[in-house]
Structures are given as C-alpha cells and as structure tokens.
Structure 1
Amino acid sequence: MPGEGLVVGPVPRGARGTGVLLVLAALAGAAAAFPAYLVVDGRELSMAQGVGSALVALLVPAVHLVVGVGLLRGSVPKFGLAYAGVAGALAVGQLLIEIYRGSSSTSRPAVEVLAGERVLTSAVQPAPGWVLGLVALGLTVLAGAAAVRVWGRTVMDDGGRLDAVRSGLAGAAVLLGVGAVLCLALPAADVPDQLVVDPTTGLEVVVTQEGPQALLERPGLALMGGLLLAGAVVLCSVVAPSLRPRLAVVGGLLALTATVLGLALAGLRDAVASDELDWTVPGAGLLLAGLAYAGLTVLAWRLRRGVG
C-alpha cells in the first residue's frame, strides 16, 4: 500500500490452510441457520425463522467467508491469521455452551431462550442445525490453532504507523472488553416481571417470573464455556491492539466485532421474535459494545493516514 511500507513475504501453506478452515466454518455456519436447530419437548426450533433472524445467523459466517477467501489468496496474510486466531479463541467457550445445550442441559432442566423461543429444557434432542453449528465452531477453533502455529513463519510487516496510538487503542479495547463481559453476564432478552393484585390486601405486588439463565448461572460445560468466553473477550481485547503490522490489529478487532455483534443481535432477535421476552439493558449495552468495537476496527484501518 502506498505510504504503508508494507512488506509481505512468501505465504506459508499453513496460512492458506487456515483460510480453508475458515471457509469451511463459514459454509457450515451458514448451513446451520436453516434446518431444525434443536427439538425441545417435541417443538422444532430453527435459528432462521424470518429474514431478520436469517441475517443475524449469517453475520459471523459471512465475515468468516470473506476473511477465509482473502487468506486463500494470500494478499495480506497476517490480517486473516489475526482474525482466525481471535475468532478461534472466542469460539472455544461458545463450543462448550453449545455442547451443553444439545447434550446435557436436560440433567438440570431450566428455562432457556433458544432460537427466540422461551422453553424448558426437560427434553432436548439434537437436530441437524445444532450439529452443523458445532462443526462450524469446531472448525473455527481449528482455524485459530492453525493461525497461531503459522504466525511466526508468516512474513508481513509495515512502517509502524500505528505505533504512536497503540496504547490508546489498547486502553479503549480493554474497556470495551470489560463492558462486554459485564453485559454478557446477564441475559440480553428476559421475561418481564408482572404486576398482580393481591386478593387479600387489594394491593399491587410484583411477581417475578422465571427467565433464561445468565451466562455464569448454567452448570458444567456451560459454566466453563461462559468463563472461557468472558476471559477470551478480555484477553483478545488486550492482545489484538498489540499485534503487528497494523492490518493484524484490524483483523483481531474485526473478529471481536463480529462475535460481540453476533451475540448482541441474537439477543435483540430473541426479544423481537417472542412476545414473552423483553430486550434488557445488558442486551442494549452489548449491542453498543459491538458497535464500539466496529468503530475501533474502522479507526485502526483509517489510521494508516497521517500517523507517523
């Protein structure tokens, strides 16, 4: 790039292999949106129940596909490797949560929000959409591991135009990471409390209804997955701005943007799709965090000009 001082060496096969894994993850994730996701108490749930929910479900696969194809071309390899590494780290916790939802959530039945439906997980059966989703997350984790392995053998550097503002960028990213974790700790869509009249006193009282479990309230694999997801969001927010060259920072922040925005929009989809659910303040905060990550990504991309 003119004025960038960008130097790109031969692209290792491992980097292109990471691109293949990302493309396969994108295809599996896109395919997972349309068939039945889970069968809960005889009800088939699907992630794509309309145009809006389909767009939400396809957000992360679409970004995976674009970055994976770029890695296959080998034009700016560390951009794609940084994206894959961060996306893979974030996918580990999500993978464990999905395994719990489809395999062991019946051991301790509870109210959950799955694919925009408020259900009781007393009887859950895996369906093709769940299996494809697991495959997509597993491939993303493999892509992240492959990216870490090949990172040191990939030659790509620039003139260091971003170095003057790295500390400020890192501080903003860490604050966003902590804020995103705090928002993730509570459901993005929840059951509102009800006001009822006490027949004895004639006074209105608040009755709390059982709503979906928070990220860290689930047991077993889901709890471990929630902790790993929360830790990965903060850790990747620290690591991404320190990567070199500048385009690697953009790739790492893009992965954080796609993941946080995907989770936030899923919560908004659930609240819109169900009459029983309301969008919560943590859900709105998570959406703002995702948009702020997108702003940091664009800022890191644009800072190639006028910084020296």
Structure 2
Amino acid sequence: MSAAKNRPAKPATARAGRPASAKPRRDRADPPQRGRKRPPTRDSRPAATAEAVDEIVVGYVPSLARAAGILGVVCAVGLLVRPLLPLATAGGHRLGTGSTLVLALPWLPAALVVGFAGGLAATGRLPRLALGVLGSAGGLSIGLLLRWIWLTDTGARTVLDLPVSGQPLQGDRYGAGAGLWFAVVTAAVLVAALIAVAASWSSTVMDDDGRFDRVRPTLALWSLFVGAVVAVAYGAAPSNSSLGIARSVLQSAGLDRIGGLVLVAAIVVCCVVAPTARPRLATTGTLLGAAVMLFGLGFENLVVVAGSPDLHASFGTVAEVVAPLLVLMLVAASVLAAREPEQDH
C-alpha cells in the first residue's frame, strides 16, 4: 500500500495513449487550417473542360472491304486523269481539251477524299469511315455511269450532247475519245466499290461510345431537307441555251434521263441513310463522299458554262454550286456534334 501511495500519478489524457498537453488531431469535418488548401472531393471538383472525343473500337476488317479500298485508290486516279483527256473528236478537232487543267480542279477534292478513303480501307484503319465515303461516291456514280454510256452511242449523239466548253457547238457526229472511255471505266469501278462496300459493311467491326446517338434524329431531319433541296438542284437544267441543248432530267431521253433520275434518287438516299450509319465517323464519311462528288459535278458544269459562248448560267448552274456546300454543312455538323461534352443527367 505504501508503494502505491508513493508512485507518481499518471498525467490525465484526452485519449488513450496521448498526453493531455498534445494538440488534438483535427477531425476531417473541421475547416482547413489557414494557409492549407483542402483537397477537392468528388462532388467539389469542377466539370471537365476538355473537348469530348469518340472512343473508337476497330475489330475485324474483311478482305472484301480491303478490296473496296483498292478500287477506291484506282478511282481516285481516274477522277484526276479523266478531265485531262479529250472526250471526243469531231471534224479533226479534239473536244473537251480547251481548259483541261481548269476542268481537273473541281475533281481534285473528290480524288483526294476517295483516294485517302481507299487507303484507309485497304489498310484496315477506320474502315467504316472509308466505306462510307466509297459507298456514297459509288452510289452517285450509278447515274453518272448510265449518262456516260449514253454518250458512247456516237451513232445517235451529236457534239451538242457533249459536256464540253470552249468549242464551237455544232450538230456534227463525233467519235468517242479517251476521256469518255476513261469516264465510263472510272464510274464502273466506283460502282464495283459500292457493291463491295454493301457486301462487307455488316461484317466490318467498328464502333464508338454512342455519344453521337442523341443528335442523330436532329441530323436526320436536316439531312432529309438538304437531300430534297440538292435533288431539285441536280434535276434542273444545268444551264440556258438558245440552241435547246440544256435540258433538265425530265426533258432528257433514254439512258440520259434514267441516269439523271438515278442520280437524283441516290442523292436523297445518301442523305437519308447517312445519319443512321454507325459509328459517327461512318455518318461523316457517307456525307463527305457525296459532297465531294457533287462538288465535282457542280463546279465542272460552272466551268463548262463559263467557257461556252452558247451556254448561259441559270438556276440550275447556281444551284449545283450551292448544293454541295449544303452537304458539307451536314458534314461539319456531324463533326462538331461529337465535340460537345456529354451532359450528366
């Protein structure tokens, strides 16, 4: 008992194992001390300001899709070379060579886009983007192929039927030139690429995170409107002429008329189908392929009208120049829509 009384008493503690004089540990709920910043919690962190991007997944690419890409590269060369060759010969003159370099410029965007898409498909990179470009370009080429075939019937056609500029317009017969046959082959190869695209689309694996799905209905409505406007533009007469050689689709005859109707229908189909294609890059590619092909047609017609003394600009001339720009606006909309950050609900 005496030893217990002489033992010094232990100092009082606020918590077990800690002296009373020690500073109490600050609880997590206490406000932070001056000079120190409290780390942000999950709820207090600011929203991400980085632009949203698609998460692309690429899987199996069938051989038929790669074959479509090879055909696309071949077509790109044809789109550039065709305007440099004479369409026909008549009376010892080569027709369609008065402004070859100028005529080649409208088709430069189409050649670059189709060639680049062909390279992507052939190497298996972003395959559905590439197949979208080749599919729409091939769809529009069906009508062009029929029109080019119509011009090869030299026994029934005259110089007035040729889309040439800088040449005296006469009613003479003509012989098919290298440019005309090159146009037929290029359009036929693009149609073959379309068939390969249709056969390989479902087995080509490429998808994204679905961020673009929320704007597909809106884009579909605008695409339907633009498709109808563009169809009217390319169905009208491309120019005015006192000789009566500028005809609308309904005023033409034979394969020329069928080709024009198929071209107009293909424009509408491309604009309607594009918003439903997955992933988003497939939508962008489908619209881009249609835009560059229409750009080549519209601006080539503008060059022809400007270089011919017997052709004058009309509603169709201006409409064919404006129409591809409307489709390019849809392309821009499909690109910008994916850059908007997804909102949390």
TM-score by length of 1: 0.87
Structure 1 residues 160 and 40, CA gap change in structure 2 (3 angstroms): farther
Shift of 1:37: 1.3
Distance 2:191 2:101 in 1: 28
Matched, 1:218 2:252: yes
Contact 1:4-1:159 within 8 A present in 2 as well = yes
Structure 1 residues 128 and 50, CA gap change in structure 2 (3 angstroms): closer
With 210-219 and 252-261 compared, the bigger mean Cα shift is at 210-219
Contact 2:75-2:111 within 8 A present in 1 as well = yes
State the match for 1:238 in structure 2: 272
Q: Choose which of 225, 232, 236 in structure 2 pairs with 1:182.
A: 232
Superposition map of 1:139-158 within 5 A? 139-158=189-208
Contact 2:159-2:173 within 8 A present in 1 as well = no
Contact 2:85-2:179 within 8 A present in 1 as well = yes
Contact 1:111-1:210 within 8 A present in 2 as well = no
Q: Choose which of 156, 171, 191 in structure 2 pairs with 1:107.
A: 156
Code of the aligned partner of 1:15:
A
Distance 1:290 1:118 in 2: 30
Matched, 1:285 2:319: yes
Contact 2:151-2:157 within 8 A present in 1 as well = no
RMSD value over aligned CA atoms? 2.2
Matched, 1:25 2:59: no
Superposition map of 1:42-53 within 5 A? 42-46=92-96, 49-53=99-103
Distance 1:124 1:302 in 2: 49
Contact 1:110-1:122 within 8 A present in 2 as well = yes
Structure 1 residues 299 and 279, CA gap change in structure 2 (3 angstroms): same
Question: 1:165-218, CA deviations, whole angstroms, 9 ceiling, x for partnerless residues?
Answer: 112211111211111121112222222xxxxxxxxxxxxxxxx54232222322
Question: 1:20-58, CA deviations, whole angstroms, 9 ceiling, x for partnerless residues?
Answer: 000111112222221211224543223672532221243
Structure 1 residues 214 and 112, CA gap change in structure 2 (3 angstroms): farther
Contact 2:73-2:114 within 8 A present in 1 as well = yes
Contact 2:239-2:311 within 8 A present in 1 as well = yes
Contact 2:106-2:295 within 8 A present in 1 as well = no
- SS at 2:99's partner residue? coil
Question: 1:65-122, CA deviations, whole angstroms, 9 ceiling, x for partnerless residues?
Answer: 1211122222100001111111111111110000001225x42658435222573564
Contact 1:67-1:80 within 8 A present in 2 as well = yes
With 60-69 and 40-49 compared, the bigger mean Cα shift is at 40-49
Gap runs ≥5 in structure 1: 192-207
With 125-134 and 50-59 compared, the bigger mean Cα shift is at 50-59
Highest CA radius of gyration, 1 or 2?
2
Contact 2:159-2:174 within 8 A present in 1 as well = no
With 239-248 and 12-21 compared, the bigger mean Cα shift is at 12-21
For CA contacts below 8 A with separation 6 or more, give which structure has more relative contact order. 1
Code of the aligned partner of 2:323:
A
Distance 1:2 1:175 in 2: 28
Higher strand share: 1
Contact 2:134-2:190 within 8 A present in 1 as well = yes
Higher helix share: 1
* Equivalenced residues, count: 291
Structure 1 residues 90 and 307, CA gap change in structure 2 (3 angstroms): farther
TM-score by length of 2: 0.78
Q: Percent identity?
A: 27
Distance 1:50 1:135 in 2: 19
Shift of 1:124: 2.5
Distance 1:42 1:31 in 2: 22
